[in-house]
Structure 1
């Protein structure tokens, strides 16, 4: 029996300004997302640029299907300038998917573990 579906929200590392290499984070996100298939869990990924039309992107992603669990990544939760956006994401999930569990990962590679706690 397949579990899920799961929706994962995160910050798009390629759209974070500054002088840094986003490739290691992009690779970690890809590795973490691939782990869902190892558990036969359908999972969608929504990476947003917080300075763009991020709230609308969250609403569109939530409208795609019924999700059993929504994982909110550390890039949204842990970066203090994104606190207001984090609150918006949590409340948008509660508004649009009131039956979905909300989970938090500690790294891109343990996202499936966060979801499994609630599936």
Structure 2
């Protein structure tokens, strides 16, 4: 299996921060950037795919990223999975991934800081 990872999460500009006490766009963006840097430092070949909550736009963005390489693992962020209003978005992302990359493994984080642990459950860099 390829160890290339597609890391999918909601773009920080699309979140409703009134539902996320203590978090704002700048701090969340910084956490994502720090998480991506930690992935690189840990040796993971990860591509970040920040998506819009609109399922059509998100599906198009994921399909475009998938054209760029052979991915063996996709990490789908908590914002996509855990908010009830994103159920259709989550379904669409899962179905796009499994259709476009048969055999791809999926993993899930709980925050940008837990991404490395999620990836290590399936691969080592």
The answer to whether residue 47 in structure 2 is matched with residue 44 in structure 1 is: yes
TM-score normalised according to structure 1 size? 0.89
Give unpaired runs (5+ residues) of structure 2. Answer: none
Which residue of 2 is the match for residue 34 of structure 1?
37
Which residue of 1 is the match for residue 105 of structure 2?
101
- Supply the distance in 2 between the matched residues of 1:48 and 1:71 (Cα, whole angstroms): 13
> Number of paired residues?
117
Give unpaired runs (5+ residues) of structure 1. Answer: none
CA-CA distance at 1:17 after TM superposition: 5.0
- Supply the distance in 1 between the matched residues of 2:110 and 2:95 (Cα, whole angstroms): 20
The structure in which a higher percent of residues are strand is 1
Deviates more, 1:35-44 or 1:15-24: 15-24
Alignment of 1:1-119 (within 5 A): 4-17=3-16, 21-51=24-54, 53-119=57-123
Which structure 1 residue ranges, 4+ long, deviate > 2 Å from structure 2?
15-21
C-alpha RMSD of the superposition? 1.8
TM-score normalised according to structure 2 size? 0.85
Deviation per CA, 1:22-45, whole angstroms, max 9, x where unpaired?
Answer: 111111111111111222111100
